[in-house]
Structure 1
Amino acid sequence: LRGAAALERLASSPDKFLNPLLLLILVCQLVSATLVGVLAEHQFGAAGLIVATVLEVVVIFVIFEAIPKNFAVMHSDSSALFAAPIIEIILKFWPIKWISFVLLSLAHAVLRPFGNPEDGQKVTESEIIAMATVAHSDASIDRSERDFIRSMLLMGVTIVREIMIPRIDMLTVRSEQTVQEVLDYAVSEGRTRFPVLGEDIDDIVGVVNLRWLLKELKKGNGAKALSELKMNEPTFVPETRKVDTLIKEFRGSKTHLFIVVDEYGSTAGIVTLEDVLEEVVGQILDEHDEEAVEIEVDEEAPLPWPRIVNARLNIEDVNDRMKMALPMGSYDTVAGLVL
């Protein structure tokens, strides 16, 4: 595309063109304001200052600010491709670059005793999330795109407890069950991995998956109990582990299922690689999954509550999708709010 090469060069180092460009804009505005003021005073006398001020505000704001910027927002790609080569030509005028460099160096020297001036130029994660929220409110991006941006940035602060399958919802098998029994259970439930319990749910002695079960069945071990065979060792992670760290652990391990434990060592739940992926891209359904109804209309319920909401739904999602303002707190879900 014409202008693409110039645009790529400018985008790779925005400071090199933004500062000189801002200086050039400032100089043009000051020169135009001075000239209009002198001409207006010469033409209208004492009233010239008022005329010049009104004229400058209308012309500069409407013609040189509002119209170009709004047009650029509506046609960002074509505007950027058109303007990039022109900006590069302007920047070849060395006095602009030299003067802007000197002025910026002076500003940095003044600000240096108060901290590094570069620190204030960094965009924080919260600012990006806020921009994504505003973009969603303006219909510039849809909800899934906003959630994707938010999830990627919050990976470093989201903990396993927020995405795990809680203990009450775990599907498990017992060590005394046979390979054939567990295989039949896996087929009926449409699942491929199970924690294996010893005495109780806090005594997890192994993890089995569908591939392992089929291999043992092929060896003729279908009638043997799981405890008689060499199962995969369970991997335990604390419920406070950060999700971004968990991803690295999944990459370094040969299992896609970890056992989550609380501060007392009791089983809090399980977390799978699929849970982590769903935290980023949203719910992933396979041929065995049924799409959960998170919010459904209850025609018989009295207003203003004509909805039945899944208790595990995130409070922020409820507020966003139902245009409500449920209070936020130490809890994450509707169940946490109610309880």
Structure 2
Amino acid sequence: MTVSDPAIWIGLVACLLGCYFSACNIAIKIFSRARLTELLSDRMDNAKLEPFFKRSSRIPLMTGTFRTGLNFIVLLAVLSYLDRNVELATLHQYAVAFLISSILVSIFTVAIALSWARYQPEAIVAWSIPLLTVLLAIFTPVVAFLHLFDPVVRRVSGASLVDDAESDASDEVMSVVEEHESVGSVDSEQKEMIEAVFDLTDTLAGEIMTPRTDIEGIEYGKSLTEIRDLILEAGHSRIPVYGENLDDIQGVLYVKDLIKLINDEHLGEFDLKNYLRDVLMIPESKSVRDLLAEFKATKVHIAIVLDEYGGTAGLVTIEDILEELVGDIEDEYEEDEEKPTVRKIADDLFEVDARVYIDDLNDELEVELPEDEDYETVGGFVFSTLGHVPEVGETFSHGHLAITVLAAEKTKVLSVQIQIQETDDANTVNNGHHS
């Protein structure tokens, strides 16, 4: 072995450079912007760092390309050394060169680089900013060309085409929050609220809406006295008004608009139409963040959620969005509502609130009621299975479960009885009644 052989030095330099660029590639993806800014506070202000941060998303593409090229140089260096110093058949020479270069690359650009970047990502980035900035300027055309493949791959894979900058910003904010939480300056509730703000982008209106079966509305044509009674019973400050049914929403009634009628001597001339306000109509797929922006822009704080056929799927208010951020909000008009429960009557007999979620019931009773995108609760399952709003006492079987409706209203099921039978019956529907 000749140390002066240029192939050895070329291979060694390529390994070291490959290790460095590989570490940069990893560090640029995991460094904390807050910690880096603090590390460079005595050398560089935020204004000078901002251009680097804006272009940092393209650095892994450049360093990854360098690493690939350097790995190839290592292979050529090993092959060159073997060709001059070891007598091997050509095929064996290629195989040995590939094996040796693979070992070297694994040690330098994987094992060492990964450990280095994992333990000192900010230090690597801080030290590399000048060099990476210059290299990025020089190789901008190459990086720009390679970046053209990114949207193509995203479309093929079905990933979002939204710019990553927003996602990176939210990740950075959460990184700062976690740092402050670790030293006690941010508590867990504050952290959860901040996380909820970012989750608004991914949360859809259909996920937080009040479902159609729970909407309390006013039928158009009701008298003021009837409307007053409905308002007192519902306890809401804004109530939708419908025509023939809930698919025919005429507008929304703000209770405060009726206050001036308390001492009005002309109540006989009351016309509900004069007090209706516009209501937003939105699809179930609308993001909660976009809906919040629309609420703010239109100053309308209630929206009817439409299904794919244009029918009313539910209703969402600005309070629903706030509850996504801070948890349940109860005002002085709301009565304490008991949580939906599963009550055990006997070893194989249970009384179940229709609002209980299917997955919760399956976990609690160790059964397998089917879940579906059309419903989430036991009441929704009953309605979907029967195809109509059942009467009290109506019974049907699903697998080894006998389900009986215990309480129901005109538009929804309130509670059911579930009996777990020992034999697995086929899924049948029996629209009879208990005697």
| TM-score, normalised by the number of residues in structure 2 | 0.47
* 8 Å Cα contact 2:304/2:314 also seen in 1: yes
Q: Partners in 2 of 1:21 and 1:203 — Cα distance?
A: 59
Question: Corresponding residue for 2:316?
Answer: 271
Unaligned runs of 5+ in 2: 1-36, 168-174, 179-190, 385-435
* CA drift at 1:333: 2.0
Amino acid across the alignment from 1:233: L
* CA drift at 1:151: 5.5
Q: Deviations over 1:166-185 (max 9, x none)?
A: 34312345743449955982
Give the number of the structure with larger relative contact order, counting CA–CA contacts within 8 Å between residues 6 or more apart: 1
Question: Corresponding residue for 2:376?
Answer: 333
Q: Deviations over 1:160-210 (max 9, x none)?
A: 5x6542343123457434499559827xx6532223578986786663334
Unaligned runs of 5+ in 1: 109-115, 133-139
Question: Corresponding residue for 1:22?
Answer: 64
Q: Does 1:285 align with 2:329?
A: yes
Amino acid across the alignment from 1:21: T
With over 3 angstroms needed to count, the CA separation of the structure-2 counterparts of 1:190 and 1:29, relative to structure 1, is same
Question: Corresponding residue for 1:152?
Answer: 201
From 188, 212, 236, give the equivalent of 1:191: 236
* 8 Å Cα contact 1:179/1:213 also seen in 2: no
Q: Partners in 2 of 1:8 and 1:123 — Cα distance?
A: 30
Q: Partners in 1 of 2:357 and 2:259 — Cα distance?
A: 36
Map 1:73-222; keep pairs closer than 5 Å: 79-91=124-136, 94=138, 97=139, 101=141, 117=149, 119-120=151-152, 122=154, 127=159, 152-153=201-202, 155=204, 163-172=208-217, 175-178=222-225, 181=228, 185=232, 191-196=236-241, 207-217=252-262, 220-221=263-264
RMSD: 5.8
With over 3 angstroms needed to count, the CA separation of the structure-2 counterparts of 1:163 and 1:124, relative to structure 1, is farther
* 8 Å Cα contact 1:260/1:271 also seen in 2: yes
Q: Partners in 2 of 1:226 and 1:67 — Cα distance?
A: 84
Identity %: 22
Q: Partners in 1 of 2:269 and 2:337 — Cα distance?
A: 32
Q: Per the alignment, in what secondary structure is the counterpart of residue 114 of structure 2?
A: helix
Q: Partners in 2 of 1:269 and 1:290 — Cα distance?
A: 23
* 8 Å Cα contact 2:284/2:307 also seen in 1: no
Greater strand share, 1 or 2? 2
Q: Partners in 2 of 1:102 and 1:264 — Cα distance?
A: 48
Q: Partners in 2 of 1:325 and 1:148 — Cα distance?
A: 34
Amino acid across the alignment from 1:331: D
Q: Deviations over 1:307-333 (max 9, x none)?
A: x79757487x9999xxx9986655252
Q: Rg: which structure is higher?
A: 2
Q: Partners in 2 of 1:233 and 1:267 — Cα distance?
A: 18
With over 3 angstroms needed to count, the CA separation of the structure-2 counterparts of 1:222 and 1:267, relative to structure 1, is farther
Q: Does 1:32 align with 2:74?
A: yes
* 8 Å Cα contact 2:261/2:267 also seen in 1: no
Q: Partners in 2 of 1:26 and 1:267 — Cα distance?
A: 56
Q: Partners in 2 of 1:251 and 1:261 — Cα distance?
A: 20
* CA drift at 1:64: 1.6
Q: Partners in 1 of 2:301 and 2:275 — Cα distance?
A: 11
Q: Partners in 1 of 2:248 and 2:345 — Cα distance?
A: 45
Q: Does 1:9 align with 2:51?
A: yes
Amino acid across the alignment from 1:26: T
Q: Per the alignment, in what secondary structure is the counterpart of residue 195 of structure 1?
A: strand
* CA drift at 1:77: 5.0
With over 3 angstroms needed to count, the CA separation of the structure-2 counterparts of 1:24 and 1:259, relative to structure 1, is closer
Q: Partners in 1 of 2:251 and 2:267 — Cα distance?
A: 16
